[in-house]
Amino acid sequence: MKRVIKYISVICIVLVNVSLTKITKPFPKSNLLNKCTAILKVENNRNSKSIFKESINYKLILINTSNKKTSYKVEIENTKEGLKKAQRRSSKPKKAIETSKLKVLTLNNKNKSIGEIVLKPGEKYLFKVKLSKVDNESVNKWNLTKVKVSSPECKGVIVSTILKTYIPNPELR
């Protein structure tokens, strides 16, 4: 009888731990004072790609999760944020991971440059970030591009994501 009670208590503890770890999901960054919330995600969760040709496109989705109509501005910058994580995962941790800059364009679904995006509550907006090689000299390097979404109604960046692009040596292909 004591064994049965021990086994039941162990099973209950395991179930509680498993359920608690599954409950903790990341929430989108938000500015709670102004009820400014949004979700920015890369289509099919493909935020890491290799650029084999002259350019590559990332498709992103911006969703207004606030309760009001909001205007958004997309800003893009080259960054080294997240580089330390990549270095730790590298098979050669003692060698520094080199980065390279790429030319960046943000385009709507009609391949036109985007400015301000106005979305109603729950509305989605699909756009592309096009990264192009600057030269053919930068090979075997990474580019980290940070896509930030801000709003005039909200102070600061509402949501952001990092696109990781590897530039392989085309001669080794």
Residue-wise pLDDT for 90-128, tens only, equals 555 445 556 666 777 777 777 778 888 999 999 999 999
Mean pLDDT to the nearest integer, 148-154: 90
* pLDDT at residue 113, rounded to an integer: 81
- CATH code of the domain made up of 26-172: 2.60.40.10
> Is pLDDT above 60 for 48?
yes
Which residues share a beta bridge with 141? 167
What whole-number distance in Å separates Cα of residue 113 and Cα of residue 21?
A: 42
DSSP assignment letter at 134 = S
Dihedral, 133, 110, 146, 163 alpha carbons, nearest 10: -70
Quickly state the pLDDT bin for 19 (edges 50, 70, 90): very low
Which residue in the block uniquely carries the two structure tokens 């009001």? 68
The overall pTM is greater than 0.95: no
Give the pLDDT confidence of 52-67 residue by residue, as tens digits.
888 889 999 999 999 9
Tell me phi and psi for residue 81, to 5 degrees. Answer: -65, 135
What whole-number distance in Å separates Cα of residue 10 and Cα of residue 18?
A: 12
What whole-number distance in Å separates Cα of residue 116 and Cα of residue 4?
A: 64
The residue extents of the domains of the chain are 26-172
Query: Tokens in use for 140?
Result: 């075997």
What whole-number distance in Å separates Cα of residue 72 and Cα of residue 123?
A: 12
